[in-house]
Structure 1
């Protein structure tokens, strides 16, 4: 059968066409990459940020390209702010399909060792602040997303956790504890909200070079962080970037993930499946004597 070469090709449908998403922490890093990808895939996006800049410039750039995106000032640890963000999305766009609770706080690097802190008073304010943002903030996002998703009988809630939810080591105690906590929170939310057609999942990324991670490593350039992470990574010949985490969020937020709930999607190239202790010990044994 002959094919008419002059016929117009069928456009590939965008994966989030017609959907409305809120992305907290959308002004940089994983949140910004996700906002850009969601807009590209047809979503109407509201990013929730603590400061106007760079949110304003991100929105203006994407709007100039035909995207539908705006921002709202929001401290996720304050219920009134989260409620306002959800109400703003519904007011502007008519509904809410995706809540991406991505905003996070790292904690002080001094909290890595409890042994070295035995004779020093604990920084309780720092611990509380990390939990207020990472755990309570995620709870508030889930709560207020559910408020508007339940009547619609559908929705996707996504929470950014971390590879430290499935590994343990040299990360601040508040961060490690909070990121493990949100995995449990997501499962609990998923069990309760499943009856309303609402899916709840986590994403646990390895060391993507976000401003937060670069600051923790005291790196000035993303390439420095990428080289360091690649050096300790399990999967070689690939570099994990914020865009890769955004792709995971796209899958969980789209209809392609319509039967995925209760998952902690670990984006780490197999890092959490490895234990290098035996390998390094063997190297030490077999190393020639100096």
Structure 2
């Protein structure tokens, strides 16, 4: 039986053309939400939109760098023009390795390039603030909204992806907690999801096989994690089933970390 608990809602998923974002977009679409996906590569977005959409409902792809306030404003306005509002926001866009290169991203903290540090913070942290700020008026106007931020279990492990990435994902937890209190009076919930090392395109493009297997074998559920493993949690947090859950950071990592 097809679930329709998100019918009438409009979800914007940043970084929605690949990996976790694409899997979440597909799941929310299946639960009848209208979907907007954004990213920085037009052909990847268009292909993802075509793969997710059925014949009767389109998925709107928009090219946007979430660290640029002007582009974020234009993106949300395009979404409003097409669907009337945005009342579910999945802040998934992030720089891990592929954007700045593996060797540069995994340097010791004292060897990091300042520009690389700033770029990671701009996308992974400032981008969430910009997107959340831009859609807030739609959510407040109807006294209903859902903001879901993608963090990482590396926050609790403290290793694996470079200190700039770990720090940015720790900041996501802080944003989530702060926004929960500011947005709560308007019927808006704000939560984070922390995955482990997900077998997304980014991970598969680099040689993470050994690391992936080590992490899988040390988890309570000893198997690799895939993008679809995150989709159910995101759909639940987007729905009225989670209406009284806010300010939480939910680890969806097969028990890689327990807290």
**Both proteins in one fold, TM over 0.5:** yes
- Which of 11, 19, 23 is 1:21 aligned to? 11
- Inter-partner Cα distance in structure 2 for 1:215 and 1:225: 14
Which entry has the higher C-alpha Rg, 1 or 2?
Answer: 1
Aligned residues of 1:103 and 1:133 also touching (Cα < 8 A): yes
Are 1:130 and 2:116 counterparts? no
TM-score, normalization by structure 1: 0.81
Number of matched pairs: 255
Q: CA deviation at 1:179?
A: 0.1
- Inter-partner Cα distance in structure 1 for 2:196 and 2:15: 18
Q: CA deviation at 1:216?
A: 4.3
Deviations 1:140-186 (A, max 9, x none): 11111213211121100111110012221232011000000011011
Are 1:267 and 2:257 counterparts? no
- Inter-partner Cα distance in structure 2 for 1:76 and 1:48: 9
SS of aligned partner of 1:156: strand
SS of aligned partner of 2:257: helix
Provide structure 1 residue ranges, at least 5 long, that are not aligned to the other structure: 1-10, 275-290
- Inter-partner Cα distance in structure 2 for 1:126 and 1:50: 18
- Inter-partner Cα distance in structure 2 for 1:233 and 1:99: 29
Deviations 1:219-253 (A, max 9, x none): 6xxxx8764542343322x4421001111111111
- Inter-partner Cα distance in structure 2 for 1:270 and 1:61: 31
Aligned to 2:217: 231
- Which of 196, 200, 205 is 2:190 aligned to? 200
TM-score, normalization by structure 2: 0.90
Are 1:242 and 2:232 counterparts? no
- Inter-partner Cα distance in structure 2 for 1:16 and 1:166: 32
- Inter-partner Cα distance in structure 1 for 2:30 and 2:131: 24
- Inter-partner Cα distance in structure 2 for 1:33 and 1:205: 13
Aligned residues of 2:151 and 2:193 also touching (Cα < 8 A): yes
- Inter-partner Cα distance in structure 1 for 2:46 and 2:245: 33
- Inter-partner Cα distance in structure 2 for 1:140 and 1:196: 19
SS of aligned partner of 1:272: coil
Are 1:84 and 2:100 counterparts? no
Aligned to 1:164: 154
Q: CA deviation at 1:218?
A: 5.4
Structural RMSD (CA): 2.1
Aligned residues of 2:8 and 2:34 also touching (Cα < 8 A): yes
Provide structure 2 residue ranges, at least 5 long, that are not aligned to the other structure: none
Aligned residues of 2:191 and 2:248 also touching (Cα < 8 A): yes
